[in-house]
Structure 1
Amino acid sequence: MSIEVPEGWESVRFDEAVTLQRGFDLPVQRRETGDFPVIASNGIVGTHNEPRVEGPGVVTGRSGTIGKVLFFDGAYWPLNTTLYVKDFHGNDPAFVFRFLEHFRLSRFATGTGVPTLNRNVVHTEPIIFPPLPEQRRIAEILSSVDDAIQSTQAVIEQTCKVKRGVLKRLLTKGIGHTRFKQTEIGKIPERWEVIPLSHIAKVQTGLAKGKKDVSDPIELPYLRVANVQDGFVDLTEMKMITVSKSQIARYSLEVGDVLLTEGGDYDKLGRGDVWRGQISPCLHQNHVFAVRPDQKRLLPDFLAALTGSQYGKQYFLSCSKRTTNLASINSTQVKQFPAVVPPLAEQQAIIDRFDSLSKGVETHQRHLHHLQRLKSALMTDLLTGRVRVIGQVETFLEARYADNTEVMECLKDLFRRYGRWGLKDSSFESKFTSGRDADFFAYLWEMVLASHLKNLGLDLQSADEGPDFGFLYKGQKIWIEAVCPGPEGLSEDWLRISKAGEAPRAQSVPHEQMLLRWTAALKEKKEKLTGRPRRSGGWRPGYLEKEVVGGGEPYVVAVSSCRLGPTSLHLHNSISQLPFAVEAAFPVGPIELVIDRQTMKTVDQRYSNRRFIKNQNDADVPTDSFLNPDYSGVSALLGTPAGIDAACGGKPPIVLVHNPLADNPLPQGILGVDHEFIAEDKGDHYELREVRYDRR
């Protein structure tokens, strides 16, 4: 079989790169508790007081569980149901671990009762291996994504723990009750009822797969158990099913249906969420129930919270049919579910209190799925050589900054940290190294901004679709959209960097041309949020219409002006001596002096009112965006000249200008800036107040 070998890689037999060896017998009665893990085919099964193999090591299953691969930094004892890597042949152990994860050893398993893996069969397989430096880089990248996955899982687990505690209190005590009554399920508020679910909801069973000879067939999407997660619906991978057109209404989901899974592992029993009509029409499999509540008596979100609570899970588990590690329920048991039913107004109040925590979990779960998909795609690309990583960014930086080693190393370090944070989008490497300054500085600013926000302790998230960064602050999602405007309209003479030894040049600062780049950047990112007309006709929806950003979630535009001049000296404050960010958001112009004609003395000075500036076509460009209701979706404008200097440890000034008309105001003091500008409404005018911080 011919294998395409990427340049610099080597085609070898499996056992020329990795030699597997059967593990060692160690009966339970001979084990003495110690510091060294004992490994079976399904994972760690205990410890022992001495190891059999020194680390680092890689272990996979030989008999029983086939395909699971484990990595150990230290010494360990692999049992005889495993295969361990006896010889890495000079290859990087961490890379071998990733290679075996992707190699799908399970396809070589034989036997029907107890699957077995024969190492001698695997050893003859042809494989391709990259050189050692590239192995290490691939392992580092995949490890950074794993770190981000584990960190996100920990946040989800902690948030869910808090969520469960809040929900338990709300579903047993309610809000503000002092009088309770005893019922068959325990004490509940006096005005609440316990009603069988079938009395206040319709339980709809789903469509069975595999039916033949379907009359008048049509293919439609349908929900499987894999799509119905605990508290959210995962539509990443939808399957199609053939159904008779006459049966569409019978098996279709409706907005407000509460989805419940029939069973599987214990954790899958009765899990679910509310169907929001994301796809229409959409059917559901027979292993997923659709519960349609009478919304005059029971709200869908309240029912979903109730069935997903500890109370709901205990009920379904208590009446389920159970085998080893598996459980299932039927429609009769769902119909008999004793629903706790408060008055509708209180149901809504409970939902509102619970909703912020649920949104936090949903946000982290979406980020987790993004990271898991990213890891899968990276493993396919990196471990086949389809995408080359060794030196792609490093080589580019070495060429770009060949005469400035300090900057080169700073940017390499920043790039590695950014990768470890799991924030790179799928096109990062190709665009960052494209040679186009627009792409280079756009991603440089994203990395610098991410570093600043991470230093504040913020847990950043990023995805290909949506603003550059998002994070939770006191249960509220906050979005950051970064932009580094280019120097269009600025003269080459202004942008030219003086050479060493060259005499200083006297020239005026093109304040208005620079300000035009700020206003254009703010408008561009506002339209990313709200949408804009397409040049070819029609409408390009924004983050709000796509429901990427919620209507009540703060949205900050973060501008770096590092490309608008040769040095950072004139890139922060404009002609008014206030930051460009202020002049881009409010009609603040140059300082005016009031002179007494008699004495010729200055008696007053003030900022001029400048609502427009002229562009190169002599058209008026507004400079009062934050007094325009069209910009009410933008919460604040962050501005800084941060660029290469910030990447290398410098601390250029950062300002934040709040929008007084914002639908979703940004809390003050959370983004680690030097100055914040707040426009206070004084009735007939706004008064701009400056708050200073010490970032040292």
Structure 2
Amino acid sequence: MLEARFPYGSARQVCYRQHLKKVLLSFYESDFADRKFLDELCNAEPEKFWQSLSEALVYSLLAERGIERERPVGKGPDFLLRDKSGRRTWVEVYCPQRGKDMQASSGDSRADGTYSSPPDESVASRWTAGLKEKTEKLFGTAGVLGFLDREIVGPEDAYVIAINGYRLRSEHEPHVSVYCGINQLPHAVNVAYGLGHLVAHVDPKHKEPSRIGLSSRAHIRKFRSSEPVALISSCFFLEPKNSRISAIWGLDLSGECVVGNPEPICLVHNPHAAHPVRRGLIPADEEYSWEPQDTGHGILTSHFHGHVLPPKKWKD
């Protein structure tokens, strides 16, 4: 199965397949893989394979860090963590796929024969779509009860949405990460706090940039081939209705750190969370927080912990 998806016979590819096999086997033999895991892993559709692989990679992260975890009872979120105080934190994993708008735009070659990366707004829209889908899992939709109403997620439990954005890369340049947006911050941060381009504030007297800041971006454009361009919200944590979502766990996981490729991870905290996640509970290179100001703006703070998955040195 792995040979069919990653068929090359180089030493790097062999090492990569062996690593994935170890990760997948460990997850399958644990109490955390659900009944459909093996079927979806072997499914011909890449979407199902990558969703299953993402769950296995997240499990590996949690297992290697020695975080206490419990098997979720019944059909609920993918993982349940418990901190030292006994408080429960649920983690629901999602691996968004490239949309048709991204396929069309990133498939156009440049004059030099290279390909362009997917547009910033198109990538961001897939993150917002993932947040919407996993929020509906918590609250439910018309005719379908959510995790809260089914009493799987308790009223005092924290709920974290983990999004693995690896599959949003251009199919022509899979080595080029789209983990960060146009402002060089992770997409998870941008869609959480409504952040846009970098802006330079120019001193009118000296006509020189006095400071660099970030523009706000409350909405992004969603491009659809058969319908007009739509505006969708891109300030997830600034909307009071999302206070039950404690944090976004932003991931760029593929297992490739074993062959020298970076796999960045961040945790983005909700400033209005009903049940915040304790800093350091969930593995992350960097954690972000947002302090709203009376002016309508806010202060972005980051705490760098070091690389959770440092790329291993590799020589071909």
Q: Same fold (TM over 0.5)?
A: yes
1:661 correspondence with 2:272: yes
1:511 correspondence with 2:120: yes
Query: Partner residue of 1:594?
Result: 201
Of residues 570, 574, 584 in structure 1, which corresponds to 2:177?
A: 570
Of residues 59, 64, 83 in structure 2, which corresponds to 1:473?
A: 83
CA shift in 2, pair 1:491/1:546, >3 Å: same
1:419 correspondence with 2:24: no
Offset of 1:542 from its aligned partner? 0.6
- Where 1:443 maps in the other structure, the secondary structure is helix
Q: Distance in 1 between matches of 2:210 and 2:43?
A: 56
1:688 correspondence with 2:297: no
Query: Partner residue of 1:561?
Result: 165
Query: Partner residue of 1:11?
Result: none
Query: Partner residue of 1:630?
Result: 241
Deviations 1:175-194 (A, max 9, x none): xxxxxxxxxxxxxxxxxxxx
CA shift in 2, pair 1:491/1:400, >3 Å: closer
Query: Partner residue of 1:673?
Result: 284
Of residues 137, 144, 147 in structure 2, which corresponds to 1:543?
A: 147
Instruction: Give the unaligned 5+ runs of structure 1.
Output: 1-395, 498-502, 534-538
Amino acid at match of 1:490: M
Note if contact 2:107-2:115 (Cα within 8 Å) is conserved in structure 1. Answer: no
Offset of 1:508 from its aligned partner? 5.5
Deviations 1:136-163 (A, max 9, x none): xxxxxxxxxxxxxxxxxxxxxxxxxxxx
1:402 correspondence with 2:14: no
Q: Distance in 2 between matches of 1:629 and 1:447?
A: 32
Offset of 1:601 from its aligned partner? 2.5
Note if contact 1:658-1:666 (Cα within 8 Å) is conserved in structure 2. Answer: yes
Offset of 1:431 from its aligned partner? 1.1
CA shift in 2, pair 1:408/1:526, >3 Å: same
Offset of 1:421 from its aligned partner? 2.1
Percent sequence identity over matched residues?
A: 29
Instruction: Give the unaligned 5+ runs of structure 2.
Output: 311-316
Note if contact 2:158-2:277 (Cα within 8 Å) is conserved in structure 1. Answer: yes
Q: Distance in 2 between matches of 1:402 and 1:564?
A: 21
Note if contact 2:160-2:249 (Cα within 8 Å) is conserved in structure 1. Answer: yes
- Where 2:167 maps in the other structure, the secondary structure is coil
Q: Distance in 2 between matches of 1:648 and 1:482?
A: 24
CA shift in 2, pair 1:508/1:421, >3 Å: closer
Query: Partner residue of 1:57?
Result: none
Offset of 1:492 from its aligned partner? 4.6
Query: Partner residue of 2:106?
Result: 494
1:83-482 equivalence runs, <5 A: 396-403=1-8, 404-460=13-69, 461-462=71-72, 465-474=75-84, 475-482=86-93
Query: Partner residue of 1:615?
Result: 222
Note if contact 1:660-1:678 (Cα within 8 Å) is conserved in structure 2. Answer: yes
Amino acid at match of 1:623: S
Offset of 1:399 from its aligned partner? 2.4
CA shift in 2, pair 1:568/1:559, >3 Å: farther
Task: Give the TM-score normalised by structure 1.
Answer: 0.40
Deviations 1:398-425 (A, max 9, x none): 3222324333222211111112322211
Q: Distance in 2 between matches of 1:650 and 1:472?
A: 31
Q: How many residues align?
A: 292
- Where 2:102 maps in the other structure, the secondary structure is coil
Note if contact 2:191-2:234 (Cα within 8 Å) is conserved in structure 1. Answer: yes
Query: Partner residue of 2:313?
Result: none
Larger relative helix fraction: 1
Offset of 1:618 from its aligned partner? 1.8
